[in-house]
Structure 1
Amino acid sequence: MIRVLVADDEPLIRAGIRMILTSADDIEVVAEAADGREAVELALRHRLDVALLDIQMPVLDGLSALAELGRTAPGVRALILTTFGERDNVLRALRHGGAGFLLKDSAPGELIAAVRAAAAGDAYLSPAATRHVADSLAAGPAASRSEEARRRVAVLSEREREVLALLGEGLSNADAGRRIHMSEATVKTYVSRILAKLGCENRVRAALLARDAGLGV
Structure 2
Amino acid sequence: MTRVLLVDDDPLVCGALEMMLSATEDIDVVGSVHDGDQVIDAIHRHRPDILLMDVRMARQDGITTTAALTALPSAPKVIMLTTWDSDDVMLRSVHAGASEFLLKTASPRDIIKHVQDVASGEGALSARSARQLVEHLQSDPARDLRRAAEGLVATLTDRERDVVRCVAREMTTAQIAAELFLGEATVKSHLSSAQLKLGAQNRVGIGIIADRAGLV
TM range (shorter): 0.5 to 0.7
**Number of residue-to-residue matches in the alignment:** 205
Equivalent position of 2:3 in the other structure: 3
Give the 3-state SS of the residue equivalent to 1:42 in structure 2. helix
Equivalent position of 2:141 in the other structure: 140
Equivalent position of 2:99 in the other structure: 100
Q: CA deviation at 1:100?
A: 1.4
Equivalent position of 1:112 in the other structure: 116
Equivalent position of 2:194 in the other structure: 194
Equivalent position of 2:54 in the other structure: 54
Give the 3-state SS of the residue equivalent to 2:6 in structure 1. strand
CA distance in 2, matches of 1:57, 1:100: 19
Instruction: Check 1:68–1:162 CA distance in 2 against 1; reply closer, same or farther (3 A cut).
Output: closer
Identity, in percent, stands at 28
Kindly report which structure 2 residues correspond to 1:5-154, keeping only aligned pairs within 5 A, or say none: 5-70=5-70, 74-83=73-82, 84=84, 86-96=86-96, 98-104=97-103, 105=106, 107=110, 108-117=112-121, 124-128=123-127, 129-138=129-138, 139-140=140-141, 145=146, 149=150, 152=153
Residues 95 and 205 in structure 2, CA contact (< 8 A), matched pair in contact too? no
CA distance in 1, matches of 2:99, 2:210: 20
Unpaired runs of at least 5, structure 1: none
Instruction: Check 1:163–1:5 CA distance in 2 against 1; reply closer, same or farther (3 A cut).
Output: same
Q: CA deviation at 1:30?
A: 1.1
CA distance in 1, matches of 2:142, 2:64: 34
Give the 3-state SS of the residue equivalent to 1:51 in structure 2. strand
Q: CA deviation at 1:54?
A: 1.1
Give the 3-state SS of the residue equivalent to 2:42 in structure 1. helix
CA distance in 2, matches of 1:13, 1:184: 38
Q: CA deviation at 1:85?
A: 5.6
Instruction: Check 1:116–1:10 CA distance in 2 against 1; reply closer, same or farther (3 A cut).
Output: farther
Unpaired runs of at least 5, structure 2: none
Instruction: Check 1:85–1:160 CA distance in 2 against 1; reply closer, same or farther (3 A cut).
Output: farther
Equivalent position of 2:207 in the other structure: 207
Instruction: Check 1:50–1:74 CA distance in 2 against 1; reply closer, same or farther (3 A cut).
Output: farther
Instruction: Check 1:13–1:112 CA distance in 2 against 1; reply closer, same or farther (3 A cut).
Output: farther
CA distance in 2, matches of 1:213, 1:141: 12
Residues 177 and 187 in structure 2, CA contact (< 8 A), matched pair in contact too? no
Give the 3-state SS of the residue equivalent to 1:188 in structure 2. helix
The residue type paired with residue 82 of structure 1 is L
- After superposition, the CA RMSD in angstroms is 4.0
Give the 3-state SS of the residue equivalent to 1:15 in structure 2. helix
Give the 3-state SS of the residue equivalent to 1:59 in structure 2. coil
Q: CA deviation at 1:134?
A: 3.6
CA distance in 1, matches of 2:27, 2:131: 28
Q: TM-score, normalised by structure 2?
A: 0.67
